[in-house]
Amino acid sequence: MPLQPVEALPTEIIVSIATHLTSHKDRFHFARCCRRLFDIVCPCTFHPIELPEYCTLDLSWLIDFPLHRRKACLSVENLPLGRPISCSIKRVHSKELPTIDDKVIAQVDELVNYYNGCATWTKELRHGDNCDAWVALLLYILPSLRSMEWLWVESRTRYAAKLVDELILRRDQFEGSGPLGKLEEVLLKGTG
């Protein structure tokens, strides 16, 4: 019996393969194989994004993929975030630290203009090893997010916490369509 191409497999088998891939990165690469796979795998891959521990390199990769794929952004409804760690713990060298392109910088600048008090956010994003600034950007690009769990660690900047507070206070302006416009539940676990 000749081998079938992956995209020709039944939907149930494709979903089963995707759910057995433990890394979101592996699921993303699997989904990118062809259009049919992306349409099937995207909702089950992105619905919950779970990061037990993460550094900015994980966040930048996670941000880059949905940022350029609207369907992926819209499918994320649950975001459990664990412990942020330094990139050096994962043995990431400074030349490998994440950077953001001009399009993302423009979006951040737009948000910074809207949200006073975060003028250094762009600098922190460019720094490359500040998880807080990257979490704030991740939250901003997920309009369908309904619930999040967040192990919050005291840090030099608190953009993500401020962003959640500010957007919850102003959520009526978004009418369910803006950043965090559908957020219903935030569970914060703190260490400081």
pLDDT tens profile 73-120 = 787 888 888 888 777 666 655 555 555 666 666 666 665 565 554 556
- At residue 160, the pLDDT reads 65
Which of 87-96, 125-134, 136-145 has the least mean pLDDT? 87-96
As a whole-number percent, the residues of the chain with pLDDT over 70 amount to 54
Strands, E assignment, 102-157: 147-152
In whole angstroms, give the CA distance from residue 165 to residue 163.
5
Strands, E assignment, the chain: 51-54, 78-84, 147-152, 185-190
Dig out the tokens for 76 from the structure.
Answer: 């994320």
Residue 160's contacts (CB-CB under 8 Å, 6 or more residues apart) are 132, 133, 135, 136, 139, 150
What global pTM score does this model have? 0.67
Backbone angles phi, psi at 173, to 5 degrees: -70, -25
Residues 148/135, Cβ–Cβ less than 8 Å: no
Name the average pLDDT for the chain.
Answer: 70
Which of 10-14, 27-31, 43-47 has the least mean pLDDT? 43-47
Residues 168/162, Cβ–Cβ less than 8 Å: no
Is 131 a residue whose pLDDT tops 70? Answer: yes
